[in-house]
């Protein structure tokens, strides 16, 4: 059977996964009466809830006797680890662009890599039915982007389709038609058949996952030769060193959304293989006679790290059932097996582990998955991974390219806040509809916790996108959170009357009846210092009654802390306590005397 391999590239929320749904439906992959979930490629609950693709996944459809293997790539920079290698697995790419937003940073990141590899893109302008669609301008922006990314003449002569993935149509003109036929035909005519080489079996590992039944599963495209179950396979690292030798227990091919075991796979096809215990992404899986590995991109280094600790608060173990350091360590190392972007390290303290990843969103999603599985743990504020220049010994920190779309009236406050966070403005231009597009190079440190502040400053109208840019010289200290916190001074259940009396001290983070303990953060102080407060103090009852005195206590609704917001809000001397039912903020040292000693030690260290 003829084969075509394509990737779908788009920024987060531009409609990749919905488009794949329509391609699967219209190619006859599903029966007419088959009940299929919406966004079928979003395989876990978190992907469905947040509407983002976290894991790269492959599927295949058959159209006019040609099998089209489609890879749905993540649109978020934190999960872009696999994207570069995926592009080596395919021969064409559909660049999907929102008709209103135009090309965004993540599109730029992946398209740049696709053009470098030599892929000829097909541009699909999606969501043309939106009332604020600006189709011609977006098409010009895509052309300018390709030109800026050094596309050759052949790549700049790209075919364009217009349509709506949600409504299920794509056409080479703006007239609405039935179905995706034009897109299928264009894939068959524009995307070349996979290049294969003569010789023994060779395959580059591209996507890694851990399966409870089959062990490690590696997905990749076979470059040359054929593979059968029980065949002996050698694994070579990027530098040519042998990693292991083993037998392939199963070969899984993508047939629709299912993975089916096959008896033979040949060059050009995308398959997943099981049975090897050490081979990973960027390794070459080959016949024992092969000596040279396939050239591969190294895995990008992590830029943000956090400390995961055993929960040692007074409420530990009351809500979750997985609380010991052994089960937390096993879970983290199991996650690292299937996720090449994560790095787990043991520390001198047996109850704490350093977890490094691509960004705070990636680490927050790992924590969210763990709490849903019944884990309890405490996590520190995210820290950036600082490198040393090997020649000069100078400290280098990660810098990101930040694109912010904002209403003109708020642009000044955004520029001011980011300059305080040591960001350099690169570009400022109008983006239609009285909005400005601002582009900055900002240190990752300065962006931790900025999103909530940005949304407050712009009344929720700004859209921020981030992308790793490079390592640059350390830019000096950045002022963190300016306000102190309100700390509970004894254990018990919060009382409405006490919270009401404390409202002028600052906004609270707990409701009446919430269990608290000494050292737990219950609110934000209006001043810069921390303040210990009593949230258990009830009203003194007397036999005098007046209507004004006994008016019902009316409380201001408390600040609701989501996991991501809590991680970016806490200071260096605070932790987030995460359980299946609660997210609490606390000081590292619960006892006030321990806190004072630690503060003095820190001040002496700085001096």
Write out the binding residues for GTP.
13-18, 126-129
For residues 151 and 112, give the distance between their C-alpha atoms in angstroms, rounded to a whole number. Answer: 9
For residues 123 and 43, give the distance between their C-alpha atoms in angstroms, rounded to a whole number. Answer: 26
For residues 16 and 20, give the distance between their C-alpha atoms in angstroms, rounded to a whole number. Answer: 6
DSSP 197: B
Compute how many other C-beta atoms are within 10 angstroms of the C-beta atom of residue 542.
Answer: 7
For residues 491 and 314, give the distance between their C-alpha atoms in angstroms, rounded to a whole number. Answer: 9
Axis-axis angle for helices 135-148, 105-117 (nearest 10): 50
* CA atoms 469, 444, 138, 126: torsion sign: positive
Contact 593, 581 (CB under 8 A): no
**In the chain, how many H helices and how many E strands?**
15, 35
Residue whose tokens read 């040292």 = 589
Q: Is 474 helix (H, G, I), strand (E, B) or coil?
A: coil
Numbered residues of the known binding site: 13-18, 126-129
* CA atoms 523, 524, 526, 532: torsion sign: positive
Query: Smallest Cα–Cα separation from 410: which of 465, 365, 468, 453?
Result: 453
And the tokens for 130? 């939106």
Query: Smallest Cα–Cα separation from 262: which of 237, 227, 286?
Result: 227
**What is the per-residue DSSP string for 97-122?**
EETTT-S-HHHHHHHHHHHHHT-EEE
DSSP 30: S
**What is the per-residue DSSP string for 121-160?**
EEEEEE-TTSTT--HHHHHHHHHHHHHHTT--HHHHS--E
**Beta strands 304-309 and 377-379: pairing type?**
antiparallel
Q: How far is CA 213 from the centre of its chain?
A: 27
For residues 424 and 401, give the distance between their C-alpha atoms in angstroms, rounded to a whole number. Answer: 10
């Amino acid at each position: 059977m003829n084969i075509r391999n394509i990737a779908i590239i788009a920024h987060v929320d531009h409609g990749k996964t919905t488009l794949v749904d329509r391609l699967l439906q219209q190619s006859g992959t599903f029966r007419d009466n088959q009940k299929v979930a919406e966004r079928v490629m979003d395989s876990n609950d978190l992907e469905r809830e947040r509407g983002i693709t976290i894991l790269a996944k492959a599927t295949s459809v058959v159209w006019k006797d040609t099998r089209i293997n489609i890879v749905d790539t993540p649109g978020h920079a934190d999960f872009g680890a696999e994207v570069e290698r995926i592009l080596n697995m395919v021969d064409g790419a559909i660049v999907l662009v929102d008709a209103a937003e135009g090309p965004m940073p993540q599109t730029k990141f992946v398209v740049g890599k696709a053009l470098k590899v030599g892929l000829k893109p097909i541009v699909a302008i999606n969501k043309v039915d939106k009332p604020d669609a600006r189709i011609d301008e977006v098409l010009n922006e895509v052309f300018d982007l390709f030109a800026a990314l050094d596309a050759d003449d052949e790549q700049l002569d790209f075919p364009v389709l217009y349509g709506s993935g949600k409504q299920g149509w794509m056409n080479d003109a703006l007239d609405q038609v039935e179905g995706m036929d034009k897109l299928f035909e264009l894939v068959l005519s524009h995307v070349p058949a996979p290049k294969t080489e003569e010789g023994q079996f060779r395959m580059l590992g591209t996507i890694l996952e851990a399966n409870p039944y089959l062990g490690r599963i590696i997905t990749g495209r076979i470059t040359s030769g054929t593979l059968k179950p029980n065949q002996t396979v050698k694994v070579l690292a990027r530098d040519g060193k042998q990693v292991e030798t083993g037998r392939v227990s199963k070969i899984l091919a993508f047939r629709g959304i299912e993975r089916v075991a096959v008896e033979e796979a040949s060059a050009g096809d995308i398959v997943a293989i099981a049975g090897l215990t050490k081979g990973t992404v960027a390794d070459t899986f080959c016949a024992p006679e092969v000596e040279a590995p396939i050239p591969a991109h190294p895995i990008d280094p992590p830029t943000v790290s956090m400390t995961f600790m055993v929960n040692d608060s007074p409420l530990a173990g009351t809500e979750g059932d997985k609380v010991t350091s052994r089960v937390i360590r096993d879970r983290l190392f199991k996650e690292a097996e299937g996720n090449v972007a994560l790095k787990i390290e043991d520390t001198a303290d047996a109850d704490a582990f350093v977890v490094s990843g691509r960004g705070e969103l990636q680490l927050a999603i790992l924590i969210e998955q763990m709490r849903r599985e019944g884990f309890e743990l405490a996590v520190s504020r995210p820290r950036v991974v600082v490198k040393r220049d090997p020649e000069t010994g100078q400290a280098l920190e990660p810098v990101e390219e930040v694109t912010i779309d904002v209403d003109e009236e708020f642009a000044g406050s955004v520029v001011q806040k980011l300059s305080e966070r040591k960001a350099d403005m690169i570009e400022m231009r109008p983006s239609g509809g009285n909005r400005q597009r601002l582009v900055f190079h900002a240190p990752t440190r300065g962006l931790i916790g900025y999103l909530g502040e940005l949304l407050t400053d712009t009344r929720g109208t700004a859209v921020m996108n981030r992308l790793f840019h490079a390592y640059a010289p350390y830019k000096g200290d950045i002022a963190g959170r300016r306000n102190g916190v309100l700390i509970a001074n004894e254990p018990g259940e919060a009382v409405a009357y006490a919270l009401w009396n404390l409202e002028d001290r600052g906004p609270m983070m707990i409701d009446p009846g919430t269990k608290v303990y000494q050292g737990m953060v219950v609110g934000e102080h209006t001043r810069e210092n921390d303040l210990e407060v009593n949230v258990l103090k009830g009203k003194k009852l007397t036999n005098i009654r007046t209507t004004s005195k006994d008016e019902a206590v009316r409380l201001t609704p408390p600040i609701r802390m989501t996991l991501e917001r809590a991680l970016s809000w806490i200071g260096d001397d605070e932790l987030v306590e995460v359980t299946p039912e609660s997210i609490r903020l606390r000081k590292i040292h619960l006892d006030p005397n321990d806190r004072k000693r630690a503060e003095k030690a820190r001040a002496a260290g700085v001096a």
